[in-house]
Structure 1
């Protein structure tokens, strides 16, 4: 019987005509298709009008709280995991290393406390096995949540993720609903293998959705929405934002928020997602900073200081790296005429260059100053606090770039 099925399938394939070339772009993920050659060519026409924010100059959407009911970034993720466990029941399993002892940062403790111990699957010390097993579970009808314990360890899962899980939808229409949590980022004093910013490893690989929350609210929302997609979603959570140092980030800030846990579930129930939508977190008129993750807060600090010098910076939090919201970014740059792209990863080869070039293509004739990408130095991530602090972009460096772009320096 199996042989007959295979033989019949082979006959059907042999009788098929080759597909039309333009169809190759379709269905890379459930959210987007690839751009065509014609679309790429049309970007330099100068005809595209981006989406301009209606936010008032100097106004910010980021609201933090010192309330006892507010959540840290890590608590938002913890509570998101618990809510997912209760929402998906037997469909969900949490796969990773040290899962039964709460993981490297205690993220799984609330899962255990709420009676979801049986959903924690302690895997072998092999990132390849973790991702391949999660992909298999997804193909089998489950919705697994896989964890790569630290960013640098993801190198060991690349084949499983980018050659297998990421491509199955495009290759043969399979749905692979799995979320891959990857803690990463600097200001953690954890050095190489652990603090690497690795988004550029994945942004060139079609088939993945990639999100990078910067706040507790987005950490909760994007986790819930990511797990509702029928795609492999890479969830980049910044360890430096966890609030491990008495509730403060690695930069010494407090970003706790009163998290709304209802709206996102309503969106999911209605089949709506905010994934793929950037957010203007500060209105401005003189220059645009496009950034994501922990660098959102660096950009906001620099912007507040520049406002005292009469320069109003518009800050855009991408939230989603793939697919990224170019229309909102272009709209802002067409308004301000100046662009800084701020990334924590090393300058060379960073995703910021892709973002910068994409925005330039649509807004070149509106530019008043050469666009700039700001990134970490092209070195491994140091252990030493002094070396790490010197390596990563800080608000003073961003201020200097703003001053030069706005001709204050």
Structure 2
């Protein structure tokens, strides 16, 4: 069974789901929320703030200096003062300029003296945007060794809506890694040319918030059942994983796909349960192979499932190079469908 379904017509794009979540957050929290970042009063990066303006939330948009450190320090201060700010860093690579503000300030305050820091930081990033280095970097591994941040990476419109709504509800700082290549900027299609639009149901997450429960944050999801190999992934690679599973199914190889969704904290239990049953493990990440967070996930899973393995586990990642600007070079560095299919087949056939 596959739970990853797309709308044949209509539905929300990935970017529309994020925009709607921001509007609902603005309505829910009223004057206690604010949206901070660069070019906010114009439209923000990729026009993401247009619905906020159209729905009467212009006063909640705060245009900040071109300084990521100032944006995050200011947003952290607003959170400490009792607000629920949402900051935006326009591109993944720019987050490096906010490292101290994120890691030594926002992430540590809860640990140092129990302060609540209900801050959400949206970070657009990812390949297939033809934006080159500094913009397309996959940065999740930067934060894996510094406790205090929650890091989420939705791969579908439904998860983008749900996770952003839940992120705004947490009393801890959340990094919301949204993939630009999934926005639907090319006539509603992703950078891979796919339609991933979905009929988004906003009720379950809003009901969960109303009742004080969590729906998805901290919980991985088994989006496709399978008996032969467990494929752990997140973000844009989720859709490559589904295509690969569909191809291999015709060869009687059934791939179980786990969408991690929340990278930190990592839901190891769901992954271990799957690998113990399938006996094989592949982790698929878009980020560079060496030093990627996929290896930490692999290690954690193996600690509890090693003796169930029937073949060597595998991590698939991008080439260890900065993201190229030229489209053919960028395509060459990022894991593609053919490579993923071959790798899965190799692991299963041993």
The two structures have a TM-score, normalised by structure 1, of 0.85
Out of 281, 286, 299, which is 2:223 matched to? 281
Out of 172, 179, 182, the position equivalent to 1:241 is: 182
Superposed CA deviations along residues 58-106 of structure 1, whole A, max 9, x for unmatched, are: x1001111333x1000000001100000100000000000001111200
Question: Does 2:153 align with 1:204?
Answer: no
Give 5+ residue unaligned stretches, structure 2: none
Selected match of 1:251 from 189, 192, 203: 192
Of 212, 217, 220 in structure 1, the residue corresponding to residue 158 of structure 2 is: 217
The equivalent of 1:314 in structure 2 is 256
In the TM superposition, residue 244 of structure 1 has moved relative to its aligned partner by: 0.3
CA–CA distance in structure 2, aligned partners of residues 204 and 120 of structure 1:
32
Moved beyond 6 Å, runs of 4+: none
Are 1:362 and 2:304 counterparts?
yes
Q: Which runs of structure 2 are paired with 1:138-177 in the superposition (5 Å)? A: 138-177=79-118
Residue 406 of structure 1 deviates from its aligned partner by: 1.5
In the alignment, which residue of structure 2 is the partner of 1:28?
A: none
Aligned residue-pair number: 349
Structure 1: segments with no counterpart, 5+ residues: 1-58
Q: Which residue of 1 aligns with 2:319?
A: 377
SS at 1:284 equivalent: coil
> Counterparts of 1:333 and 1:159 in 2: how far apart (Å)?
37
Partner of residue 54, structure 1: none
Q: Deviations over 1:310-329 (max 9, x none)?
A: 10000000010011110000
Q: 1:391 pairs with 305, 309, 333, which one? A: 333
- Displacement of 1:395: 1.3
- C-alpha distance after superposition, 1:317-373 (max 9, x if no partner): 001001111000000000111100000000010000000000000000000111110
Q: Distance in 2 between matches of 1:333 and 1:219?
A: 26
Verify: 1:302 aligned to 2:271, yes or no: no
1:344 correspondence with 2:286: yes
SS in 1 for 2:266: coil
Shift of 1:220: 0.2
CA RMSD, Structure 1 to Structure 2 (Å):
0.7
Provide the rounded CA distance (Å) in 2 between the counterparts of 1:63 and 1:348.
Answer: 32
Shift of 1:263: 1.3
Q: What does residue 25 of structure 1 align with?
A: none
Aligned equivalents of 2:239, 2:131: Cα separation in 1: 21
State how far apart, in whole Å, the 2-side matches of 1:394 and 1:191 are.
18
Q: Secondary structure at the match of 1:379?
A: coil
Query: Which residue of 1 is the match for residue 120 of structure 2?
Result: 179
Please identify the structure whose Cα radius of gyration is greater: 1
Q: Could you say which residue in structure 2 is the equivalent of 1:335?
A: 277
